[in-house]
Chains A and B, each alone.
Chain A
């Protein structure tokens, strides 16, 4: 980065970097997706159960 003079405006183009920041960013994206669309694994399990129930009820 270099010099951060003390009377200057903050370096507003700077962003958090590194693996931890990236992991947290991805974690936030995944949480957002979960909130908007739900959990694929849970939906998958429910689908399986409903398929099994529907097929079990066949004559």
Chain B
């Protein structure tokens, strides 16, 4: 049944989601959200799989080690656990792990390809306290089945959504964007709404593992100029149909849609840089700890739970703390001189480093794509080095800047001085963390600006005057909202009595 026509926006929730970061999480370096590959075993053959999942790792954690790991994370303050694989339910004791997470009060969900996710498996998981199920769907059947390497996997994925919804789980979809995906998105949105999904995470396919072997699955950076407006349209349609699009870490940054979707309407939320190793932990099935589940093992393996406690790895190892210590000085290329350099830090570390072999410069950026286009330029990537066969292995791509075909007489890109980049002062709290920068919105052009700006660097407007005008509009809207609330509350009270 297609419920799209009548579904209202999600109801207003009073409590913040557990995954939302509080100031004390930043200050005290709380690993709020853990993403744990509990096995590398997988029953799909995804052509873009970064971890090259298939067979289990040779030395995956024992049940006792896994449960102890959950206890250690709970002691560090972890509030949310995402179990992934491979395919998480191919590990025989996955239900025990779910139950232990729930015993500690962690919000617990799995991300799955859903092949052979039987009713029995779902029932066991629900009984153990599983709260959410995210299904990976990369397009309509022909594309999804081809990319996922198994005929019929689309049907199983959609079916799993419905069966999980019927069991009361929070149901979501993750979709990776490659060159063929955008054309599928509008119809795919209809279908996942009909199947019961309430949240839809969108992310770009990243040049890691199998995706390096299949570079045809990678979007070219310049294609963002068409993809981002499509995503924005679908975001707005989704809100009205009860489906909230969640833009993943590699959808960015600071383009015209940043204030719309990063905070789901709360404009005070914006991209604040890669949070790997600051409020997030990634774990591989053998107990390797990283600051983010996706980072290259060879570069970011910070330690192993068989050798050290999670707390020691989390608080004291260099490879997990890179994000806490780095500055704009490590950035390069366009990103080094970008207006947003010290807020953005070149977006998703995984995406840029996997692509170019060095973090700090990220061509998958809407702001950058638009700026280059104004000057008649675009960027594309070409593979120059294969990735080794290991899990989470990276190859290397060359970044090519070229003239946009057919565009003539565009003004050339002006020289930009790295010394002019604004540096946000960061004071380190006693707990070791720092507060992320906070930008404001210029109400003349709706772009984010640094708080010290008096004249908008993007549109040239008087920031204070535009803010005052916006405040008047806001006050009028808020008054209407309160009036409508009172009116509706009164009608709700009166309606039953009138019957």
CB within 8 Å of B: which residues of A?
Answer: 1-26, 28-30, 32-33, 36-37
Min CB distance A27 to B, Å, is 8
Please give me the residue from chain A that is nearest to B110 by CB atom. A9
- Asked if B8 and A25 sit within 8 Å, CB to CB, the answer is yes
- B274 neighbours in A (Cβ, 8 Å): 3
- A24 neighbours in B (Cβ, 8 Å): 9, 239-240
A9 to B266, CA, bound (A): 21
Q: Mark B248-269, 1 if CB is under 8 A from A, else 0.
A: 1110000000000011111101
- A8 neighbours in B (Cβ, 8 Å): 33, 35, 82, 84, 111, 134, 201, 293
- A6 neighbours in B (Cβ, 8 Å): 203, 206, 248-250, 293-294, 348, 350
A12 to B80, CA, bound (A): 11
- Asked if A5 and B280 sit within 8 Å, CB to CB, the answer is yes
- Asked if B172 and A10 sit within 8 Å, CB to CB, the answer is yes
Q: Report if B488 contacts A (CB, 8 A).
A: yes
- B491 neighbours in A (Cβ, 8 Å): 33, 37
- B210 neighbours in A (Cβ, 8 Å): none
Q: Report if B161 contacts A (CB, 8 A).
A: no
- Asked if A21 and B19 sit within 8 Å, CB to CB, the answer is no
- B82 neighbours in A (Cβ, 8 Å): 5, 7-9
Min CB distance A39 to B, Å, is 11
- Asked if B33 and A13 sit within 8 Å, CB to CB, the answer is no
Min CB distance B465 to A, Å, is 21
Q: Report if B21 contacts A (CB, 8 A).
A: yes
A10 with B199, Cβ < 8 A, contacts A24-B239, A33-B491 known: yes
Q: Can you report 22 residue pairs joining A to B where beta carbons are below 8 Å apart?
A: A1-B262, A3-B33, A5-B33, A5-B249, A5-B282, A6-B206, A7-B50, A7-B84, A8-B134, A10-B199, A10-B201, A12-B171, A12-B172, A14-B17, A15-B10, A16-B264, A18-B263, A19-B474, A21-B265, A24-B9, A37-B495, A37-B498
A44 to B321, CA, bound (A): 67
- Asked if A10 and B246 sit within 8 Å, CB to CB, the answer is yes
A15 partner, pick from B12, B109, B267, B480, beta carbons under 8 A? B12
A11 to B35, CA, bound (A): 12
Q: Report if B198 contacts A (CB, 8 A).
A: yes
CB-contacts of B162-192 with A (<8 A): 170-174
* In the complex, number of A-B residue pairs with CB atoms less than 8 Å apart: 170
- Asked if B20 and A1 sit within 8 Å, CB to CB, the answer is yes
A33 to B13, CA, bound (A): 21
Please give me the residue from chain B that is nearest to A20 by CB atom. B265
- Asked if B32 and A19 sit within 8 Å, CB to CB, the answer is no
A7 with B293, Cβ < 8 A, contacts A13-B107, A30-B484 known: yes
A54 to B12, CA, bound (A): 47
A26 to B489, CA, bound (A): 11
Q: Report if B11 contacts A (CB, 8 A).
A: yes
Please give me the residue from chain B that is nearest to A36 by CB atom. B495
- Asked if B20 and A2 sit within 8 Å, CB to CB, the answer is yes
Please give me the residue from chain A that is nearest to B259 by CB atom. A18
A11 with B246, Cβ < 8 A, contacts A3-B275, A22-B481, A23-B477 known: yes
- B11 neighbours in A (Cβ, 8 Å): 15, 25
- Asked if A16 and B282 sit within 8 Å, CB to CB, the answer is no
Please give me the residue from chain B that is nearest to A31 by CB atom. B8
Q: Report if B133 contacts A (CB, 8 A).
A: yes
- Asked if B480 and A23 sit within 8 Å, CB to CB, the answer is yes
- B448 neighbours in A (Cβ, 8 Å): none
- Asked if A1 and B282 sit within 8 Å, CB to CB, the answer is no
Q: Report if B212 contacts A (CB, 8 A).
A: no
Closest 4 CB pairs of A and B: A18-B265, A13-B17, A9-B134, A10-B172
Min CB distance B403 to A, Å, is 32
Q: Report if B279 contacts A (CB, 8 A).
A: yes
- Asked if B17 and A9 sit within 8 Å, CB to CB, the answer is no
Q: Report if B374 contacts A (CB, 8 A).
A: no
Q: Report if B97 contacts A (CB, 8 A).
A: no
Min CB distance A9 to B, Å, is 4
Please give me the residue from chain B that is nearest to A5 by CB atom. B35
